[in-house]
Amino acid sequence: MAEASGILQTSLISNFHPFHKTHLPQLHPVLSFRRNPTIPIQCSVSTSETTKTTTTQNAIPWGCDIDSLENASALQKWLSQSGLPPQKMAIERVDVGERGLVALKNIRKGEKLLFVPPSLVISADSEWSCEEAGEVMKKNSVPDWPLLATYLISEASLMESSRWSNYISALPRQPYSLLYWTRDELDRYLEASQIRERAIERVTNVIGTYKDLRLRIFSKYPHLFPEEVYNLETFSWSFGILFSRLVRLPSMDGKFALVPWADMLNHNCEVETFLDYDKSSQGVLFTTDRPYQPGEQVFISYGKKSNGELLLSYGFVPKEGTNPSDSVELSLSLSKSDKCYKQKLAALRKHGLQVSQRYPIRITGWPLELMAYAYLAVSPPSMSSQFDEMAAAASNKTDIKKDLRYPEIEEEALQFILDSCESSISKYNKFLQQSGTLDLDVTSPKQLNRRLFLKQLAVDLCTSERRILFRTQYSFKFFSRRTLVELPSTLQIVFSRRLQILLPKNVKNKDSQNELTLCNSETPKAH
């Protein structure tokens, strides 16, 4: 689960196909998902004794209801019979995440749990029940993500002939993620948030990837990859599963894997333990960072993700103020009326940037690149010889001096960022005002209708993102020279090497992360 989202971008886009500017079709929510197609699939299914050709005529059961315990207990039984050692946890209905793993016994802090053997892990090296299909995919050097997405569909379509049928039956038929929001829903509920753009990019990538596979491979082997099975709906499902369940195992050279059983663990922002392969016990496990009593839900970390990223991949938003890794993306743009617009744009492009750039702002600070972009945006024609170094510092290149300082335009640069925050905040205000006061219990989505459920998620996300912007605005106002002149003398003034602005004593410069870090957790007054 950790870092999954970022990896799709690299593996799909750079290795497999160029960026797709595909028109976005309406990805229909579960209602229009073809749940029960009757599909004849011709495939050679390899069993331990023979290789025989079978024709599957049954409906394909794509997983189950997201809270189904029936399928989960069948999974549990199958895993135990297939080599999963006895566990101190069981799958149960839980308050956070609907189904999850709950402690059966006292669990100590520092205890190793799970021990899922490699034979029960799905990775790019897993054997295909339909060997021919696997060979074709490997011959075409399909990267891990699209390979695994296709693998999942292939195994799901083979039903009981697949060794993973118990696992697939316990997977949600409709994983919660922004992949399942229609374009209209994204526009309506997430207009204020930059996550909307990320969701659109992601849907576009999934569509592009599917189209590439269809063009290059599926259309050439229709007997192995019939369109009734390998289509956009099934790919949305399998990518939805990968986004919400795939893990990267650092001790296996960063291998991506679906780990049945372990993927029943839900996320908690305060938990710091994650899944990995343990060479000595030869299994996937995690080490608890806290004790659990019988009946308590056990959590892991899906990575230090913002609320927006959690919504994007996993379809939930943590409760307000509970995510220390929360951040919001602030979009900065050059003004078209800028006299040096063309020169500045050329400088940005030279360093791989666009006219509009998004920078993450954390509750604890903001990146130096943001300030560099702001310098570029406000610099006058007389500073044209410095455009290049400003654009370079605004890029994500690491071997470049980032802590630039131009005292003569510092005030304007800070004001530029403040204005960008203001314009973003006004979009959030508009959406939140229109939405009225919603305070529904999204831990039981089944109780809500789809519209209300999505709206509540959007309200939760927008509230948390707006809060970070308020705080940033407050900090920038506090840092601006005008304010500094008026600072009470009791405040200890520290000189920042990076922005070269004066900071109060509760603000420290965190060199290693290239960002300014606010140590004070006080929230500015509500706006």
Q: Which two tokens stand for residue 402?
A: 């980032």
Sign of the Cα torsion 437, 440, 443, 446 reads negative
> Contact between 315 and ligand SAM (CB under 6 A)?
yes
Interaction of residue 283 with ligand SAM, rule CB under 6 A: no
User: Do residues 188 and 50 make contact, with C-beta atoms less than 8 angstroms apart?
Assistant: no
Strands 247-249 and 276-278, sheet pairing: unpaired
Q: Which of 267, 344, 362, 471 binds ligand SAM (CB under 6 A)?
A: 267
Please report whether residue 1 would count as binding ligand SAM according to CB under 6 A. Answer: yes
Q: Is 28 marked as binding a ligand? A: no
Annotate each residue in 409-428 with x if it binds ligand SAM (CB under 6 A) or - if it does not, as one string: --------------------
Of 16, 78, 176, 387, the one binding ligand SAM by CB under 6 A = 176
Q: Annotation-wise, does 314 bind a ligand?
A: yes
Please give the Cα distance from 300 to 274 (Å, whole number).
6
Give the chain's end-to-end CA distance (angstroms, integer). 36
146 binds ligand SAM (CB under 6 A): no
- The smaller minimum CB distance to ligand SAM, of residues 243 and 366, is found at 243
Antiparallel, parallel or unpaired: β 494-495 and 299-300: unpaired
**Closer residue to ligand SAM, CB minimum distance, 178 or 518:** 178
Q: Where are the alpha helices (DSSP H) in 353-445?
A: 368-378, 387-394, 407-435
Contact between residue 308 and residue 465 where contact means Cβ atoms under 8 Å apart: yes
At 99 the three-state DSSP class reads strand
Q: How far apart are CB 263 and ligand SAM at their closest, in Å?
A: 4
Closest CA to 133 of 163, 155, 101: 155
Which residue, among 240, 162, 226, has the nearest Cα to 5 in the 3D structure?
A: 240
Does residue 98 interact with ligand SAM by CB under 6 A?
A: yes
255-257 and 247-249 strand pairing: antiparallel
Query: Which part of the chain contacts ligand SAM (CB under 6 A), choosing from 92-100, 109-117, 181-189, 390-398?
Result: 92-100
- Check whether 231 is labelled as a binding-site residue: no
User: Does 302 count as an annotated binding residue?
Assistant: yes
449 assigned ligand-binding residue: no
3-state DSSP helix/strand/coil percent for the chain, to nearest 5?
45, 15, 40
Residue 172 engages ligand SAM in binding (rule: CB under 6 A): yes
Query: Site for ligand SAM (CB under 6 A): which residue of 63, 100, 134, 367?
Result: 100
Residue among 134 and 318 whose Cβ is closer to ligand SAM: 318
**479 is a site residue for ligand SAM (CB under 6 A):** no
> Phi/psi zone of residue 172: left (φ > 0), alpha (ψ -120 to 50 degrees), beta?
beta
Shortest separation between residue 177's beta carbon and ligand SAM, angstroms: 7
- Residues annotated in the binding site, as ranges? 245, 263, 266-267, 277, 302, 314
Binding residues for ligand SAM (CB under 6 A): 1, 96-100, 172, 175-176, 244-245, 263-264, 266-267, 314-316
- Residues annotated in the binding site for substrate, as ranges? 245, 263, 277, 302, 314
